[in-house]
Amino acid sequence: MIVTTKQLFAHAYGKYAIGAYNINNLEQTMGLFEGNVRSKAPFIVQLSKGARNYTHKLMLEAMMQTADKIFPEAVFAVHLDHGDEKTCMDCIASGVYSSVMIDASAFPYEENVAITKRVVDAAHAKGIVVEAELGQLKGVEEDVTAAEHVYTKPEEVVDFVSKTGCDSLACAIGTSHGAFKFSGDQKLRYDILEEIQKKLPGFPLVMHGSSSVPPGEVARINAAGGAIKGAKGVDATQFLGAAKRGVTKINIDTDGRLVWTRVHREFFRDKPEKFDLRDPGKIFMKEYADFIYEKNCLLGSAYQVDDARAFIEKNK
């Protein structure tokens, strides 16, 4: 059942966070749905501009509709990750996406407000909901690079949300995209989250750049020929603390890429005579499903799906 992120957030708020997982291909789609159905978790499928351009946007959209038929137990949102205005409008018109993110966070404040408002107006007219962003994550965010963290300013959030009408807000609190998030200890600014929550009680917040980059996974990749040095991620035991502070969506992409890389490197290291892509593909789909299961247990979303479905039906 495809639902909006707003419906999912209303159930999760203050209790747990929904896993928002980026996918690009068929194997990720199958593993993602298997893992979420097995862990009985509501979830968000994130499709980035990069994913939409990797093969064809229509292929991804068709996969979402087909997965909805293959997995009738799944309760999920189809969400555009880090969209620009043009891509948001395209997704709003598609009839498949239930949620879009407009990421105008690199623009000056007033421009961010104006762009976000245009997207919100178009989305709401079609029953689609919108995530916006204030502040900037250090490093690369889709096409834009920030040299340093630009933390979300709590004093701006009420004005931004009331002027734009956005349905959720991505906040920059010290995470970053990719596998190299911290050079020393992780420094997540939960104090900023607390201030934002005080100003916007009950309003759903989003944490990007939340992969954990497990050292064991990186070690296995490197032992199988990889060269990933200095990688560090977010401590997943902090997810529930974020959820208590109003975070309802936690974005995870890099960790899934690491699973893919580990499976394929180990497979071809151990079986150099093999060349059927389905052999590592089958292992990957199972390993990715197991990974999703474990992540949902840490997010607190595991075993919430029956309650979430009933809640959504009741509040329609």
**Shortest CA distance to 142 belongs to which of 183, 114, 170?**
170
**Shortest CA distance to 231 belongs to which of 172, 295, 186, 293?**
186
In this complex, which beta carbon is closest to ligand G3H, that of residue 51 or of residue 192?
51
Of 253, 262, 293, 302, the one binding ligand 13P (CB under 6 A) is 253
In whole angstroms, the minimum distance from the beta carbon of 176 to ligand 13P comes to 7
Tell me the three state secondary structure of residue 179. Answer: coil
In whole angstroms, the minimum distance from the beta carbon of 54 to ligand G3H comes to 8
If one counts every other C-beta atom within 10 angstroms of the C-beta of residue 154, the result is: 19
Q: Residue 5: which of ligand G3H, Zn ion, ligand 13P, none does it interact with, CB under 5 to 8 A by kind?
A: none
Of 82, 181, 245, 295, the one binding ligand G3H (CB under 6 A) is 82
Across the chain, the runs of DSSP E, i.e. the strands, are 18-22, 43-48, 76-83, 99-102, 129-134, 139-141, 144-146, 168-171, 205-207, 247-252
- Determine if 7 is a binding residue for ligand G3H (CB under 6 A): no
Q: Which residue is associated with the tokens 């954990």?
A: 212
Binding residues for Zn ion (CB under 5 A)? 208, 251
Q: Which of 81, 103, 167, 253 is catalytic?
A: 81
- Determine if 22 is a binding residue for ligand 13P (CB under 6 A): yes
**156-187 burial, b for 16+ CB within 10 Å, e for fewer?**
bbeebbeebebbbbbbbbbbbbbbbbbeeeee
In this complex, which beta carbon is closest to ligand 13P, that of residue 165 or of residue 178?
178
- Determine if 50 is a binding residue for ligand G3H (CB under 6 A): yes
Residues 104-133 within binding reach of ligand 13P (CB under 6 A): none
Work out whether strand 139-141 and strand 144-146 pair parallel, antiparallel, or are unpaired: antiparallel
In this complex, which beta carbon is closest to ligand G3H, that of residue 82 or of residue 262?
82
Residues 234-263 within binding reach of ligand G3H (CB under 6 A): 253
CA distance 283 to 246: 36
C-beta separation of 251 from 22 below 8 A: yes
In this complex, which beta carbon is closest to ligand 13P, that of residue 27 or of residue 133?
133
**Residues whose CB falls within 8 Å of the CB of residue 153, separated by 6 or more in sequence, listed in order:** 134, 135
- Determine if 149 is a binding residue for ligand 13P (CB under 6 A): no
Number of residues that bind ligand 13P (CB under 6 A): 13
Tell me the Ramachandran region of residue 182: left when phi exceeds 0, alpha when psi lies from -120 to 50, beta otherwise.
beta
Annotated catalytic, 81?
A: yes
- Determine if 300 is a binding residue for ligand 13P (CB under 6 A): no
Residue 132: strand pairing partners:
102, 169
* Burial grade of 278 (CB within 10 A; 0-12, 13-18, 19 or more): exposed
Of 5, 210, 261, 296, the one binding ligand 13P (CB under 6 A) is 210
Q: Which stretch binds ligand 13P (CB under 6 A): 34-42, 105-113, 250-258, 297-305?
A: 250-258
In whole angstroms, the minimum distance from the beta carbon of 118 to Zn ion comes to 21
Q: Where are the alpha helices (DSSP H) in 128-251?
A: 154-164, 190-199, 215-223, 239-244
In whole angstroms, the minimum distance from the beta carbon of 60 to Zn ion comes to 17
In this complex, which beta carbon is closest to Zn ion, that of residue 152 or of residue 251?
251
The binding site for ligand 13P (CB under 6 A) comprises 22, 81-82, 177-178, 208-211, 251-254
Residues in touch with ligand G3H (CB under 6 A): 22, 48, 50-51, 81-82, 142, 177, 253
Would you please indicate which residues are annotated as catalytic (active-site) residues?
A: 81
